[in-house]
Structure 1
Amino acid sequence: MKPFSTLELMARINAIYRRMAQTSPALKDKIYQFDRWQFDTRTSLLTTATEEVQLSTADANLLMVFLEHPQRILEREFLLNQTNTSKRDIYDRAIDVRVGLLRKKIEEDTKHPKLIQTHHGRGYVFNANVTKKAT
């Protein structure tokens, strides 16, 4: 531990909070409903009548992009930019892996996905009616 002033500590903490608020769409307080799911952005928790799924930050950020842009083809590059994928993960197939992981959590049948559909050579479509409300 290095000695430092209380003011410097507070400045560092505030900078971290500021960066988190700018980069993480999951910090917005909203509740989305789609298909059989309800997603609380504050807690990154997906729920149905019978199950709960805690999403990682990366999964929550990707889901937020899909929820904000339903029924539209979203290109891989757009998804990479919107999810603030770290520089070490930026290659076009990184988003394919992330989509696959999210599908395992929200799709009833990952072999025949109905919520996140692939448009080969173009990107992905979140194929659900989405409603949102602020908390």
Structure 2
Amino acid sequence: MYTPEHRALVTSLEASALDAWGPRALLSCLRHLGDEAGLGQKVSVQDAWAFDDGYCLIYQSPWGPPVGVRVTSSSTEGRPPFWYQHWLTSDAGFGPTPEEAGREFADLAIGEPLGSIVDSLVYDRHGLGWWGEAPLPPIRPTN
């Protein structure tokens, strides 16, 4: 189920150019999180923004307070975080498409409790805990 904020984010991304990895992966992640048959009943998306090689997402799950996560395309290359382990092959740099990465991240990271990640959250000046790819905490760009 989409909240009004979630729907506005999807609509805005759909109307923009999706040439870069970040916007494509974010749109895929947001669509998957909004799927009523999937995670949409569990996770509330509060805000999100993309940059060329990644995105930031602020969400709340039923397992804890709101948190932010920063994901980059380099998460799928070299030494990927736990949620991309199943994509590894003998080819360095092999990884999912942005759309696959967005769906997988929604399922395997956002759709699950934080577990031990909660012990390493980096808190911003507003008290929001962040996890994911450095640098943390991210600063939302102003337009």
Higher relative contact order (CA 8 A, sep 6+): 1
Superposition TM-score, scaled by structure 1 size: 0.28
TM-score (norm 2): 0.27
Look at both structures and tell me which one has the larger radius of gyration over its CA atoms.
1
